[in-house]
């Protein structure tokens, strides 16, 4: 642990830039972390590879079953980790999570089915679409283990909008960004526990019955639903647009391999 401290004492933050500008040829090989690059890189790779592995493994899985790979306490730990560790703008902590498991999860999807059935009767959804598409899809969600519902509590956003007037219109989108980070963390986290999951948006159709059934404050805003269960089928094909169209990098430095021991 002492080594980074020695490095930063020798080369305080930003000082290398000035030295490099003054003596470009002499300092061409000095990099901020060039003293022990191989060790540094090995340590970094050790942490990054499992992370990228999980990010790659997270996919949309629609075929879900009830074979839970972990006890419910692990799901609870993961949900609590999201609430404690996912960041929010100005640390507003406005995201709220409702996790429904097993029979309670099934009850949710029975309610959703009921809400949609009421749209079929007056013809808002054609009977054939209901029977062949909507109902099988909803039953597929019900076949899973649980659903996490993501909410925003506006009571924790409004004071910030009032206090920081120049940003007042930004707090709502920032709250949605943070909410989406919770969604992504939990989607990937559930994958890490051995579940498959998919993300749904049945709000605002289901807002009212959910509020009533699970004692949700009426002012909370439902944002999304993450359905999960044992993965019983593969993810679909996924095309990728070229990276070059989507990423720009400027100022990238070539790796210094001269001090690397391999």
Ligand X SMILES: Cc1cc2nc3c(=O)[nH]c(=O)nc-3n(C[C@H](O)[C@H](O)[C@H](O)COP(=O)(O)O)c2cc1C
Residue 73, both tokens: 């306490």
81/85 Cα distance (integer angstroms): 6
Pairing relationship of beta strands 221-231 and 146-152 according to DSSP bridges = antiparallel
Pick 9 or 238: Cβ nearer ligand X: 238
Q: Which of residues 184-213 bind ligand X (CB under 6 A)?
A: 198-201
Pick 111 or 180: Cβ nearer ligand X: 180
Question: In the chain, where do the E strands start and end?
Answer: 64-65, 95-101, 146-152, 196-200, 221-231
231/144 Cα distance (integer angstroms): 9
User: Using the rule CB under 6 A, which residue among 47, 238, 246, 252 binds ligand X?
Assistant: 238
Q: Are 147 and 226 in contact (CB under 8 A)?
A: yes
160/92 Cα distance (integer angstroms): 8
User: Using the rule CB under 6 A, which residue among 90, 188, 235, 256 binds ligand X?
Assistant: 235
Please count the residues of this chain forming the interface with ligand X, following the rule CB under 6 A: 8
Pick 68 or 198: Cβ nearer ligand X: 198
Q: Which of residues 68-97 bind ligand X (CB under 6 A)?
A: none
Pick 58 or 158: Cβ nearer ligand X: 58
Q: Which of residues 28-67 bind ligand X (CB under 6 A)?
A: 59-60
Q: What values do phi and psi take at 14, rounded to 5? A: 90, -15
For residue 199, how many other CB atoms are within 10 A of its CB? Answer: 16
CB of 197 to ligand X, least distance (A): 9
CB of 230 to ligand X, least distance (A): 17
CB of 169 to ligand X, least distance (A): 21
Pick 101 or 199: Cβ nearer ligand X: 199
10/3 Cα distance (integer angstroms): 11
CB of 125 to ligand X, least distance (A): 16
96/150 Cα distance (integer angstroms): 6
Pick 132 or 259: Cβ nearer ligand X: 132
CB of 228 to ligand X, least distance (A): 13
CB of 194 to ligand X, least distance (A): 17
Rg (CA), the chain: 25
Contacts with ligand X, residue ranges (CB under 6 A): 59-60, 198-201, 235, 238
């Amino acid at each position: 642990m002492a080594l980074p401290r020695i490095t930063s004492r020798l080369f305080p933050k930003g000082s290398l830039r000035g030295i490099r500008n003054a003596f470009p040829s002499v300092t061409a090989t000095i990099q901020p972390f060039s003293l022990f690059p191989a060790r540094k890189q090995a340590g970094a790779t050790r942490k990054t590879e499992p992370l990228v592995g999980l990010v790659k493994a997270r996919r949309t899985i629609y075929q879900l079953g009830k074979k839970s790979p972990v006890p419910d306490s692990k799901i609870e730990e993961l949900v609590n980790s999201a609430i404690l560790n996912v960041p929010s703008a100005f640390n507003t902590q406005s995201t709220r999570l409702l996790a429904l498991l097993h029979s309670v999860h099934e009850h949710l999807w029975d309610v959703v089915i009921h809400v949609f059935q009421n749209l079929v009767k007056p013809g808002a959804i054609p009977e054939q679409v209901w029977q062949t598409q909507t109902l099988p899809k909803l039953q597929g969600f019900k076949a899973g283990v649980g659903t996490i519902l993501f909410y925003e509590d506006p009571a924790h956003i409004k004071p910030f909008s009032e206090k920081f007037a120049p940003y007042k219109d930004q707090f709502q989108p920032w709250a949605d960004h943070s909410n989406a980070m919770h969604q992504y963390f939990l989607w990937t986290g559930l994958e890490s526990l051995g579940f498959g999951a998919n993300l749904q948006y049945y709000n605002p159709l289901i807002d009212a019955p959910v509020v009533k059934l699970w004692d949700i404050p009426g002012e909370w805003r439902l944002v999304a639903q993450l359905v999960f269960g044992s993965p019983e089928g593969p993810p679909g094909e996924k095309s990728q647009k070229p990276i070059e169209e989507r990423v720009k990098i400027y100022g990238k430095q070539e790796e210094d391999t001269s001090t690397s021991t391999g």
